[in-house]
Amino acid sequence: MRRKFDFLVVGSGIAGLSYALKVAQQGTVAIITKAGATDTATRYAQGGIAAVTYTPDTYEKHIKDTLIAGDELNDENIVRITITESSERIKELIAWGTRFDKTTSGQFDLGREGGHSEKRVLHHKDSTGLEIQQVLLHQARQNPNIEIYEDYFTIDIITQHHLHEEVTRRRDDITCFGAYVLDVKSNEIHTFLAKTTMLATGGAGNVYATTTNPRVATGDGVAMVYRAKGAVEKMEFIQFHPTALYNTKESPSFLITEALRGFGAVLKNGAGEEFMQKYDARASLAPRDIVARAIDNEMKLSGDDFLYLDCRHLDKNELINHFPTIYAKCLTIGIDIARDLIPVVPAAHYTCGGIKTDAHGRSSINRLYASGECASTGLHGANRLASNSLLESLVFSHRASVDAIARINAIQYRDDIPDWNAEGTVLNEEMILITQSLKDLQAIMSSYVGIVRSNLRLKRAFDRLEIIYCETEELYEKSILTVKICELRNLINVAYLIIKMAMQRKESRGLHYSLDYPRTRPLDAGSSINRHDE
Ligand X SMILES: Cc1cc2nc3c(=O)[nH]c(=O)nc-3n(C[C@H](O)[C@H](O)[C@H](O)COP(=O)(O)OP(=O)(O)OC[C@H]3O[C@@H](n4cnc5c(N)ncnc54)[C@H](O)[C@@H]3O)c2cc1C
Does residue 98 belong to the site contacting ligand X (CB under 6 A)?
no
Does residue 34 belong to the site contacting ligand X (CB under 6 A)?
yes
Piece of the chain touching ligand X by CB under 6 A; list 5-13, 55-63, 231-239, 497-505: 5-13
* DSSP state, residue 335: -
Contacts of 482 (CB under 8 A, 6+ apart): 187, 428
User: How many Cβ atoms are within 10 Å of 483's Cβ, its own excluded?
Assistant: 17
Which residue of the set 43, 120, 261, 288 is catalytic? 288
Q: How far is the CB of 273 from ligand X (least distance, A)?
A: 30
Cβ-defined contacts of 355-359 (< 8 Å, 24+): 355/199, 355/221, 355/222, 355/225, 355/230, 355/231, 355/232, 356/230, 356/231, 356/232, 356/233, 357/396, 359/77, 359/78, 359/81, 359/399
Strand-pairing partners, residue 343, are 308
SS3 labels along 89-146 = HHHHHHHHCCCCCECCCCCECCECCCCCCCCCEECCCCCHHHHHHHHHHHHHHHCCCE
Q: How far is the CB of 67 from ligand X (least distance, A)?
A: 17
How many angstroms separate the CA atoms of 3 and 30, rounded?
9
Q: Which CA distances in Å does 254 have to 202, 327, 419, 529, 531?
A: 19, 12, 42, 18, 17
- For residue 417, count CB atoms less than 10 angstroms from its CB and return exposed for 0-12, middle for 13-18, buried for 19 or more: middle
Piece of the chain touching ligand X by CB under 6 A; list 161-169, 186-194, 259-267, 371-379: 371-379
Does residue 247 belong to the site contacting ligand X (CB under 6 A)?
no
Consecutive H or E run containing 300: helix 288-302
Q: How far is the CB of 410 from ligand X (least distance, A)?
A: 27
How many angstroms separate the CA atoms of 444 and 459, rounded?
11
- In one-letter notation, the amino acid at residue 218 is T
Q: How far is the CB of 60 from ligand X (least distance, A)?
A: 20
Does residue 534 belong to the site contacting ligand X (CB under 6 A)?
yes
Binding string, residues 340-359; x marks residues near ligand X by CB under 6 A: ----------x---------
Does residue 114 belong to the site contacting ligand X (CB under 6 A)?
no
Q: Does residue 288 have an active-site annotation?
A: yes
Piece of the chain touching ligand X by CB under 6 A; list 41-49, 78-86, 421-429, 504-512: 41-49
How many angstroms separate the CA atoms of 366 and 377, rounded?
17
Piece of the chain touching ligand X by CB under 6 A; list 66-74, 274-282, 367-375, 408-416: 367-375
Does residue 47 belong to the site contacting ligand X (CB under 6 A)?
yes
How many angstroms separate the CA atoms of 103 and 114, rounded?
22
- Taking CB under 6 A as the criterion, the residue among 70, 111, 114, 129 binding ligand X is 129
Q: How far is the CB of 516 from ligand X (least distance, A)?
A: 30
Peptide bond before residue 56 is cis, with ω within 30 degrees of 0: yes
Q: How far is the CB of 209 from ligand X (least distance, A)?
A: 16
Does residue 12 belong to the site contacting ligand X (CB under 6 A)?
yes
Strand-pairing partners, residue 268, are 274, 308
C-alpha dihedral sign at 529, 87, 72, 64: negative
Piece of the chain touching ligand X by CB under 6 A; list 12-20, 334-342, 440-448, 463-471: 12-20
**Interacting positions 136-195 with ligand X (CB under 6 A):** 153-154
Query: Applying CB under 6 A, what is the total number of residues that bind ligand X?
Result: 44
Does residue 33 belong to the site contacting ligand X (CB under 6 A)?
yes
- Taking CB under 6 A as the criterion, the residue among 8, 9, 10, 345 binding ligand X is 10
Does residue 46 belong to the site contacting ligand X (CB under 6 A)?
yes
Q: How far is the CB of 469 from ligand X (least distance, A)?
A: 19
- Taking CB under 6 A as the criterion, the residue among 178, 202, 343, 346 binding ligand X is 202
How many angstroms separate the CA atoms of 13 and 198, rounded?
12
Does residue 126 belong to the site contacting ligand X (CB under 6 A)?
no
Interface residues toward ligand X, by CB under 6 A:
10-16, 32-35, 39-42, 44-49, 128-129, 153-154, 200-202, 212-213, 216-217, 220, 255, 350, 372-374, 387-390, 393, 534
Enzyme catalytic residues: 288
